[in-house]
Structure 1
Amino acid sequence: MIEQNFIKLYENNFKKNWELPAITDYKETTSYTYGALAEEIARLHVLFSELHLRQGDKIALIGKNHSSWSIVFLATITYGAVIVPILHEFNPESMNELMAHSESKLLFVTESIWEHLDQNKFHIPIVNIPSFSLMQSPDEETAEKFREWKKLFHQRYPQGFKKEDILYPEISNEEVICINYTSGTTGFSKGVMLTANNFAGNVTYAAKLDLLFEGEPHLAFLPMAHAYGCAFDFLYALSVGVHVTLLGIMPTPQNLLKAFEEIKPKLIISVPLIFEKIYKRKILPIVEKPVVKFLLKVPLINTFIYKKIRHSIIHGLGGNFREVIIGGAALNGDVENFFHKIGFPFTVGYGMTECAPLISYDHHYDFVPTSCGSVLEGIMEARIDSEDPENVPGEIQVRGENVMKGYYKNPEATAAAFTSDGWLKTGDSGIMKGRRLYIKGRIKTMILTANGQNIYPEEIESRLNNLPYIAESLVVEKNNGLVALIHPDYAALETHGISRDDIQKIMNKNIKTLHKSVALYEKIKAIEIVETEFEKTPKKSIKRFLYQ
């Protein structure tokens, strides 16, 4: 059990940083100091009390990153209720199902999402965010409580809300405070029960790394309804008094670069896709030029070129950060190798929703390419289900402070997720040298050939995605052979005046190039062109089950 009580961490921090800026909505006028944030939390506590919500009751939350989203999340867990953040990218039918499954007593939702839900299925109060206005009430009594809400708050705090008024209930770290529904590549959503201790393990570990300090700027652009963005962009940042700016708009390269320039964050927490795009669209066109290719082979000159590229990337990302942390999915090998070669300050971590989410991490100056960091010292343990864990891949299994309590109302899935001696089965295959993990791929996606060879399609896709005019790819098994499903980079084809009639010829050439760098059993036997982008999870991983 983590010694630091998770809920009291925020009670103390809100008092300590009362006057400092806490949360700002990018491109909006909304901004809260830690004191103002605590007051909004207290305002919701009054409402929860009037609605007779009890500790352990579920409160659902559906919306994009916004200060109002943050307030609901924090108000729920500091009240002693259980927050159920549902990704706004789920389809409406799934949202309806998850709401019913979670047994939530109250729903906070943006109006644009509410309009697409089956409203007849809900018999609980529905509250709009960001306005906090009542959109639907199960009865007149509840509606009256909303009308009296502001008056009741002023009655509770007649002298105004003060620093000393912040007092949260004693909630044990053992208690479940969040049910996070996964949106993985297998197509089945499970409610991961995360305890205060799971979050405390992540947040207190991050605090020891000295990545962010009181009063510093931070830009949050990952979905906070997902464990990765929630734990680090949001909960960790606010636990150390950081000023968090919520992007709130699509994290396109153009929007991100502009926001980085304005905010100048001290830490960047990202997913691989963003840096893979930077590499493919900004860097490859330069380093693939014949003259540059030649110069990169010349000692000293290549060092100068790499330094210029590194400086350009750092400047484009605000020029003020200590480190870039990449997680949520595997980083393309060629991209990782290049960024490491030029001395860019990045690291790749590993985690999963069931660990809220962190399992392994290394500072950028300790990072070893192809690894995903070292298992968290004093927090987590890991083992490889293999007769030779350092050389023969096996399932990565973990246990420790960050491991979930189980899946909500799903004892069968919970039992299946753990070994008989209590280790969580991650579903990832890898090796471990010392405490450092090296992931090979998902066990469920591994292809076993007729002659007993293990093929990890992610490794082949990583190579394919760096070849000309390939936007993304998926390698699947069909008729005892490997088939590459390829979505072409139509924008690049158009820019270079290449006809769509030539796509197959280009892809055939790409496959020949690929075959020079893969094993015989990894060769592609056929290509299928996919006209539209592959459907993805919020972490931007392809939903493989849709294409098997």
Structure 2
Amino acid sequence: MEVYHLAELAQRMAEKNPNRTAILYHNSKTNEWNKVKWQKMYEMSLGVAKALAELGVEEHARIGIYSQNMRFSLWSELGIFMMRCISVPLYATCSPQQVEFVVNDAGLKIIFVGEQFQYNNAYEVQQSGKSCIEQIVIFDDRVIKKSDDHTSLYFEEFVRRGDSMRNETIAKVRCSQAMESDIATMIYTSGTTGKSKGVTITHSAFLWQIRVHQEVYPNITSKDLNFTFLPLSHIFEKGWVYVVLSVGAKVAILTDPKKVLLALPQIRPTMMCNVPRFWEKIFQGVKEKIDSFPKAVQSVIKHSINIGYRYQLDYRAKGLKVPIHIAVLNAIYSRTLFKLLKKKVGLQRVRFCPVAGAPLSIEINKFLQSVGFPIIVGYGLTETCATVSCSPLKNYDITSIGNIMPGLDAMIDPKTDEILLKGHIVTKGYWNNPEATKEAFTEDGWFKTGDAGRLVGKTLYFKERIKELYKTANGKYIAPQQIEGLLTSDSMIEQVAVIADGYKFVSALIYPNWNKLLKEAQERGFIFEDEDRQTLTRKHELQRIIMSHIEIAQASLAQFEKVKKITLLAEPFSIEKEELTNTLKLRRKVIIKNYSKEISNMYIDSPIVGPDGKPY
């Protein structure tokens, strides 16, 4: 299938199939999912380009999009591309301080905003006198503008003002001049380890990813329906959406990610990219449901999972012929138990589920594959326009993070085990930050990912984040993400931050599933009535229950890697307290600072008590 420059994507797709549905969006007024055809996509994208021409924007100008996922976001970005300008997405949850930093660093004179929260923050930044914002464009017509705001425009009015033949000519000429070497977008990293950096990504990187995804996954077709609810400001979802649109498949855009479980049965997608936490929740929910069934039913379900495991992982994953009795039994279970399970969450039609953003537990992946969820594990970075490696449809190792994408060179640093990369998709550098750019590359031009791994042929295996390795006072190295992944696979544990750097043993801050914890405590004869959460965090009985779950979850770890002491938290880590990035990764430095007292208390010389109440 021909791959079009993103500046002309809407126009070319509209010329070929003007009445084909491109996107669906939820209409909150009617509670229905409305369709947008490719002809409308082109007209609205061109409308944005003409409006930008009316404002006199020059080629390569940076333009901000500070919004939730909305149809306007895609129209605006495609219009920005038409004008040979650079899209600068901001997470919808960004604070005014974060907005101000990006605005000033990128030099944003124009910024599109989604709803009231984004408008209020952007207007505050504009009025502070510390930014270069000249024009705010508002997507949601329900936003109430400030009484002294005489310059901000609602989206429809913004588009109307640019509707002239002169502006259309400018937009079409610019579009025809767009080059693959142009910068398409600048995405600011979440900044888990330091100041946020603007990653420059060219159109050639997007186009290369589109081509190789079509090559590696020819089963993605125009008949597919993709469900989009991860932020389009994140390279994983953004890159994936352009892959999907380029093959003519439909994209259903969800504005409020909190409503994902309500929307899934309505959409019934065939594809959906996601992060591990979503599948961890699915896994925990299914396991709880299975445990609630009578023993006889549990036995049947366990047999079905075992058959699914053998079918998917013992044979299909290895490219081997499936024995007839396994194939027949798996077909029966796929049409009965597995179908009911997937229907329960609205995924009965799903056939392609890319997962990336963080390591997915191998045990959870095995379970999901066994019951028929088509998980495609991948690995990538903002700096590589998403995908570096991903699992093929056949002949894959479930313990790996997939095969290196065609046309990308990879090697492992022999001294540090760091994954190094070269290729068309790798960023040319960070905006306005030559020092960071120089630091990110080796002297001979290899990009340093910051991740340790090993490479067997073209198959890549993830080891740990190099910058997040902890070294205990005993000289042992700890990979906190690995431990946290094991612990959060238990439904009793919602969030965990492992502490170990410079300390003599591993400890953890735990935010539990309080409802489940109190229920188990009650079953054990402990009743806690009318006590607030903060008081409950100090209850020895509750800590012992959590430790019993932790011991089971970390059974595969070496003794020096195991969590020895915990602190229960009354409130979860949050983006608002800057403890999480916008992609829900832990900001370890902030967490350590915010909970310094609690951490210190865990290392006061005192006996370390195990789940049996005895000292270690």
Q: Which bracket does the TM-score occupy, shorter chain normalised?
A: 0.7 to 0.9
Between the aligned partners of 2:19 and 2:423, the Cα distance in structure 1 is 36
Q: Which amino acid aligns with 2:125?
A: D
SS state of the match for residue 459, structure 1? Answer: helix
- 2:605 corresponds to: none
**Comparing 513-522 and 93-102, the one that deviates more:** 513-522
- 1:508 corresponds to: 547
Deviations 1:83-137 (A, max 9, x none): 111111222211111111110121111333121333313441111114499969x
Between the aligned partners of 1:13 and 1:106, the Cα distance in structure 2 is 28
Between the aligned partners of 2:152 and 2:572, the Cα distance in structure 1 is 45
1:167 is displaced (CA, Å) by 8.3
Q: Is the 8 A contact 2:494 2:513 kept in 1?
A: yes
- Residue 125 of structure 1 pairs with residue 135 of structure 2: yes
TM-score by length of 1: 0.87
- Residue 434 of structure 1 pairs with residue 478 of structure 2: no
- 2:12 corresponds to: 12
Superposed, 1:236-251 pairs within 5 Å as 236-251=243-258
Q: Is the 8 A contact 1:345 1:365 kept in 2?
A: no
Between the aligned partners of 1:48 and 1:35, the Cα distance in structure 2 is 20
Q: Which amino acid aligns with 1:485?
A: L
1:396 is displaced (CA, Å) by 0.8
**Comparing 516-525 and 63-72, the one that deviates more:** 516-525
- 2:265 corresponds to: 261
Deviations 1:322-376 (A, max 9, x none): 2211111111232123223445321210001111111001234444222111000
Q: 1:264 to 1:294 in 2, by over 3 A?
A: closer
Superposed, 1:24-423 pairs within 5 Å as 24-28=24-28, 31-110=35-114, 111-116=116-121, 117-120=124-127, 121=129, 122=131, 123-131=133-141, 150=160, 153=163, 155=165, 168-208=175-215, 209-232=217-240, 234-251=241-258, 255-287=259-291, 291=295, 295=299, 302-303=306-307, 310-315=338-343, 316-378=345-407, 380-386=408-414, 394-423=417-446
**Comparing 412-421 and 8-17, the one that deviates more:** 8-17
Q: 1:421 to 1:140 in 2, by over 3 A?
A: same
Q: Is the 8 A contact 1:325 1:347 kept in 2?
A: yes
**Comparing 519-528 and 274-283, the one that deviates more:** 519-528
Q: Is the 8 A contact 1:10 1:239 kept in 2?
A: no
Between the aligned partners of 2:547 and 2:238, the Cα distance in structure 1 is 42
Between the aligned partners of 2:377 and 2:10, the Cα distance in structure 1 is 28
Q: Is the 8 A contact 2:506 2:563 kept in 1?
A: yes
Between the aligned partners of 2:158 and 2:53, the Cα distance in structure 1 is 13
Q: Which amino acid aligns with 1:153?
A: D
Q: 1:290 to 1:413 in 2, by over 3 A?
A: farther
SS state of the match for residue 432, structure 1? Answer: strand
Q: Is the 8 A contact 2:305 2:367 kept in 1?
A: no
Greater relative CO, 1 or 2 (CA 8 Å, sep 6+): 1
Computed over aligned residues only, the root mean square deviation of the Cα atoms, in angstroms, reads 3.4
1:313 is displaced (CA, Å) by 3.4
Deviations 1:178-197 (A, max 9, x none): 11111143242110011111
Between the aligned partners of 2:150 and 2:255, the Cα distance in structure 1 is 34
Q: Which runs of 5+ in 2 are unaligned?
A: 308-328, 523-527, 529-535, 575-579, 593-616
Q: 1:57 to 1:300 in 2, by over 3 A?
A: closer
Between the aligned partners of 1:147 and 1:480, the Cα distance in structure 2 is 62
Q: 1:528 to 1:170 in 2, by over 3 A?
A: same
Between the aligned partners of 2:142 and 2:211, the Cα distance in structure 1 is 32
Q: Is the 8 A contact 1:22 1:242 kept in 2?
A: yes
SS state of the match for residue 410, structure 2? Answer: strand
SS state of the match for residue 278, structure 1? Answer: helix
Deviations 1:245-283 (A, max 9, x none): 1111124xxx33332222221212111111100111222
Q: Which of residues 571, 576, 579 is equivalent to 1:532?
A: 571
- Residue 21 of structure 1 pairs with residue 49 of structure 2: no
- 1:480 corresponds to: 504
Between the aligned partners of 1:483 and 1:148, the Cα distance in structure 2 is 54
Q: 1:82 to 1:289 in 2, by over 3 A?
A: same
Q: Is the 8 A contact 2:221 2:247 kept in 1?
A: yes
SS state of the match for residue 169, structure 1? Answer: helix
SS state of the match for residue 177, structure 2? Answer: coil
SS state of the match for residue 163, structure 2? Answer: helix
Superposed, 1:446-461 pairs within 5 Å as 446-449=469-472, 452-461=475-484
SS state of the match for residue 179, structure 2? Answer: coil
Q: Which amino acid aligns with 1:124?
A: E
1:532 is displaced (CA, Å) by 1.7
Q: Is the 8 A contact 1:11 1:168 kept in 2?
A: no
- 1:390 corresponds to: none
Q: Which amino acid aligns with 2:419?
A: I
Between the aligned partners of 2:445 and 2:118, the Cα distance in structure 1 is 39
Q: Is the 8 A contact 1:371 1:438 kept in 2?
A: yes
1:463 is displaced (CA, Å) by 2.0
Q: Is the 8 A contact 1:407 1:414 kept in 2?
A: yes
Q: Is the 8 A contact 1:11 1:167 kept in 2?
A: no
Q: Which amino acid aligns with 2:12?
A: N
Between the aligned partners of 1:31 and 1:376, the Cα distance in structure 2 is 33
Q: 1:59 to 1:310 in 2, by over 3 A?
A: same
**Comparing 110-119 and 42-51, the one that deviates more:** 110-119
Q: Which amino acid aligns with 1:271?
A: V
Q: Is the 8 A contact 2:305 2:370 kept in 1?
A: no
Deviations 1:188-225 (A, max 9, x none): 21100111111112222223323432253221111001
- 1:546 corresponds to: 590
Between the aligned partners of 2:512 and 2:490, the Cα distance in structure 1 is 10
**Comparing 298-307 and 503-512, the one that deviates more:** 298-307
Q: 1:301 to 1:510 in 2, by over 3 A?
A: closer
SS state of the match for residue 398, structure 2? Answer: coil
Q: Which runs of 5+ in 1 are unaligned?
A: 388-392
**Comparing 288-297 and 192-201, the one that deviates more:** 288-297
Q: Equivalent pairs: percent with the same residue?
A: 26
Deviations 1:391-442 (A, max 9, x none): xx71111111111111000000011111111111111111111111111111
Between the aligned partners of 1:370 and 1:266, the Cα distance in structure 2 is 25
Q: Is the 8 A contact 2:498 2:509 kept in 1?
A: yes
- 1:489 corresponds to: 513
